[in-house]
Chain A
Amino acid sequence: MYSFYSIPVFIISALVIPIVGIKKSHLASYISLIASIISIVFVTATILDIMENGIVYMQMGGWKAPFGITVVMDGFSILVASITTILGFITTLYSIRYIKEKRSEYYSLLSILLAGLLGIIHTGDMFNLFVFMEVASISSYALTSFKRTDKAFESGIKYLIIGSLATSLYLLGISFLYAFTGTLNMADMSFKLSGMRGYGISLAISLILTGLAIKIGLVPFHTWLPDVYTSSPCPISAIFSSATNISFMYAIIRLILTVFISSNTIGVLILFGILSMFVGAVLSLLQNDLKRLLAYSSISQIGYVALAFGIGTYLGTIGGLFHMMNQAFIKSLLFFSSGIVIMSMGTSDMRLMESVKFDPVLKYSFLIGIFSLAGIPMFSGFSSKLIIYIAMFRYQPLLMVFTGIVSAITIAYCFKSYYLVFLRNAKLKPDMNEDKLCNVPITFKIPLLFLAFVCLLFGILPQFGIEISNFVISNFNNQLYIKTILG
């Protein structure tokens, strides 16, 4: 299983960067880029392996399950791993021009974050999941405070406290489950829990789900998220809203559909999905800060994913998975574009943004991101949202009406942001200041163009996204998972 070796590659990169950075800090970004490229190659090799074999796994140290630590990959995990490594590469490329100081620290922390996220995706062990969650979280806290402003420190400390609470609840939950089942292996725990009932087990599962829901940022566990996304550097906000979000979403879905399969715990996502969709959309509408608007929008869109998975139907699961994929690319595109806009304007307050002539690549990339987020036909968000609407209609028509209302609010804040940033000053000051030309260098253009291309591809030819989701869902077999690992 080659993709697992991406984790040590990133850890080695995290160790080498500070050492090399003592004399040559400009090499930090290139070391990180090389690590990302190697991880993409490893993940691609594992994709081919999974297409042939279905599920691939490895026992650490040669210890057989359930005693050793299991590393397992199937269609779902390799999809999330692919998106994480691609976005990791794009974020590293974007950061070359964006991060000008303390490069060694930044790229080292970014490598640790990516190692942690890939560990979450690969592991088949509950405690190992906790370890990698902590690895990812600790680097996230440091990256949140990277700018070293008062706001950044405050957000970092809040994130540290709430994040530590989340991982503590998760650890408490798995310790209870270990007491009841005597195992930490996910497959073995799934097998043993199927015959067990009791308030103790229910409490343990609740603590685990609470911990993960905090990490994802579902309402009402979302309160840390806008502060963190606003204070972090833009590439970090992009990776938080995309790779980090989908990795933790993967973790909660994996646990619910594999370990806690013997009961309808997935229904808990319906309530939090509905709350997240509505609260996130409404609060986005109220925002004047561009990054904060996108942060609340992330909460709303992850609510769509949670609701789609929560209804538990085949079409809902396809829609949820497709929307999860789309949102990773759309949010990255919007945060990257916002980063350039904020750098040029010197402010993230949309009311204070003044007249600047924008590079067409930036303007149209942001527009493609906004159209995708709003769910306009021909863009990726429309394809996944349409599947979710149909799934909602078949499950409960009132849910479809509610989803439609939230989508209308989404369109409102999407166009509000585009109007205030790009159109308002164009109308008020038709004679643009030619000296204030917002030039976009190539290391910014490549990520924007790639992400815009993906948004258009999944919009015009949604069959690619649907086929990928279909492949993942049709190969998601709990019995096969347990049989493959336990023998």
Chain B
Amino acid sequence: MGIGGFQIVILVFLLFSAIFYIILKILERGEKSVKNGKSKVYACGEEMKAEYLNIPSESFHRILSKVLMLEKLKKIHSGELGIYIGWILIGMILIIIYVMNVW
């Protein structure tokens, strides 16, 4: 990709950002009318109240952590020095195996 390609990508990005900003503003008008009670939102055949329309980001991250089983990764980072050195030993063995094969 030439140097000029970067500038083209930036321009395309700015253009799409402008388009999405306009779409966002149009949608915000719709959101205001829902909050004012002037229009209603239906989801899964039921009427949704305005306060249930936003998903808090913390819940999103919690669900993501559960689905990807990321809590198990946290257990390996428990703060215990013995576990830390264990990981170093595993890494060293991997390096030794690799270098023995290529050198």
Which residues of A approach B to under 8 Å, CB–CB?
Answer: 158, 161-162, 165, 169, 197, 199, 201-203, 205-207, 209-210, 213-214, 218-221, 223-224, 226-227, 260, 263-265, 267-268, 271-272, 279, 282-283, 285-286, 351, 376-378, 382-383, 386-387, 390, 416, 419-420, 459-460, 462-463, 466
- Residue in chain A with minimal CB distance to B9: A377
Name the residue among B77, B83, B100, B103 with the largest chain A CB count within 10 angstroms.
B103
B14's contact among A264, A279, A378, by CB below 8 Å, is which?
A378
The smallest beta-carbon distance between A467 and chain B, in angstroms, is 9
Whether A271 pairs with B74 at a CB distance below 8 angstroms is: no
Query: Could you mark each residue 60-85 of chain B with 1 if its beta carbon is under 8 Å from any beta carbon of chain A, else 0?
Result: 01001100101001100101010111
Asked whether, in the complex, the Cβ of B95 is within 8 Å of the Cβ of A209, the reply is yes
A-B contact pairs, 26 of them (CB 8 A): A165-B88, A209-B99, A210-B88, A210-B92, A218-B91, A221-B87, A221-B88, A221-B91, A223-B83, A226-B77, A227-B79, A260-B103, A263-B103, A265-B103, A267-B102, A268-B98, A271-B94, A282-B68, A283-B70, A283-B73, A285-B70, A286-B65, A286-B73, A390-B1, A416-B61, A462-B3
Distance between A50 CB and nearest chain B CB, rounded to angstroms: 24
Within 8 Å of chain A (Cβ to Cβ): is B13? Answer: yes
Query: Which of A197, A227, A416 lies in contact with B103, CB distance below 8 A?
Result: A197
* Any A CB within 8 A of the CB of B57: yes
Write the nearest CB–CB distance from A340 to chain B, whole angstroms. Answer: 23
Contact across chains for A210 and B13 when beta carbons are under 8 A apart: no
| Contact between B90 and A220, CB atoms less than 8 A apart | yes
- Whether B10 sits at the interface, judged by CB under 8 Å, is yes
CA distance A210 to B10 in the complex (A): 40
Cα(A221)–Cα(B81), bound, Å: 12
The answer to whether B70 and A202 have CB atoms under 8 Å apart is no
**A425 CA to B64 CA in the complex, in Å?**
23
Please indicate the chain A residues that have their CB under 8 angstroms from the CB of B3 in the complex.
462-463, 466
Is B96 interfacial (CB-CB < 8 Å)? Answer: yes
B42 on the A face (CB < 8 A): no
Complex CA gap A220/B91 in Å reads 6
Q: Which residue of B lies closest to A282 (CB)?
A: B70
Residues of B within 8 A of A459 (CB): 10
- A203: B residues at CB distance < 8 A: 96, 99-100
Q: How far is the CB of A474 from chain B (nearest CB, A)?
A: 16
Starting from the known contacts A213-B91, A286-B61, A459-B10, 16 additional A-B residue pairs (CB-CB under 8 Å) come to A203-B99, A206-B95, A206-B98, A209-B99, A223-B84, A260-B103, A263-B102, A271-B94, A271-B98, A282-B70, A282-B73, A283-B74, A286-B70, A286-B74, A386-B9, A390-B1
Residue B52 CB within 8 A of the other chain: no
Q: Does A460 lie within 8 Å of B10, measured CB to CB?
A: yes
Quick one: given A162-B88, A378-B14, are A213 and B61 in contact (CB under 8 Å)? no
Given A267-B98, A272-B91, A460-B10, A285-B61 contact (CB < 8 Å): yes
Cα(A210)–Cα(B93), bound, Å: 9
B: which residues have CB within 8 A of A? Answer: 1, 3, 6, 9-10, 12-14, 57-58, 61, 64-65, 68, 70, 73-74, 77, 79, 81, 83-85, 87-88, 90-92, 94-96, 98-100, 102-103
- Chain B residues near A420: list those with CB within 8 A: 57
Q: Which residues of B contact A161 (CB under 8 A)?
A: 81
A206 near B14: Cβ-Cβ < 8 Å: no
Cα–Cα distance between A463 and B6 once the two chains are bound (Å):
9
Contact A416 B87 (CB under 8 A): no
- With most chain B CB atoms within 10 A of its CB, the pick from A220, A285, A459 is A220
User: Are A202 and B84 neighbours in the complex by a CB distance under 8 Å?
Assistant: no
Identify the closest chain A residue to B4 (Cβ): A463
CA distance A100 to B103 in the complex (A): 52
| B6 x A223 contact (CB < 8 A) | no
Residues in chain A near residue B1, CB distance under 8 A: 386-387, 390
Contacts of B94 in A (CB 8 A): 271
**Residues on B with beta carbons closer than 8 Å to the beta carbon of A463:** 3, 6
A221 to B84, CA, bound (A): 8
List the 8 shortest-distance A-B pairs measured between CB atoms, nearest first. Answer: A377-B13, A223-B84, A220-B87, A206-B96, A220-B91, A210-B92, A202-B103, A202-B100
In the complex, what residue of chain A is closest to B84 when comparing beta carbons? A223
Q: A223-B77, A223-B84, A283-B73 are in contact. Are A210 and B14 (CB under 8 A)?
A: no
B68 touches A162 (CB 8 A): no
Shortest Cβ distance from B97 into A: residue: A206
In the bound complex, residues from chain A placing their C-beta under 8 Å from that of B88 are 162, 165, 210, 214, 220-221, 223
Are the CB atoms of A386 and B98 closer together than 8 Å? no
**Within the complex, what minimum Cβ distance (angstroms) separates B52 from chain A?**
17
> By the criterion CB–CB under 8 Å, are B68 and A265 in contact?
no
Query: Is there an interface contact between B57 and A213, defined as CB atoms closer than 8 Å?
Result: no
Q: Which residues of A contact B98 (CB under 8 A)?
A: 206, 267-268, 271
A285 to B68: give the CA distance in the assembly, Å.
12
Give the shortest distance, in Å, between A62 (CB) and chain B (any CB). 35
Smallest distance from the beta carbon of A265 to chain B beta carbons, Å?
6
Q: How far is the CB of A424 from chain B (nearest CB, A)?
A: 8
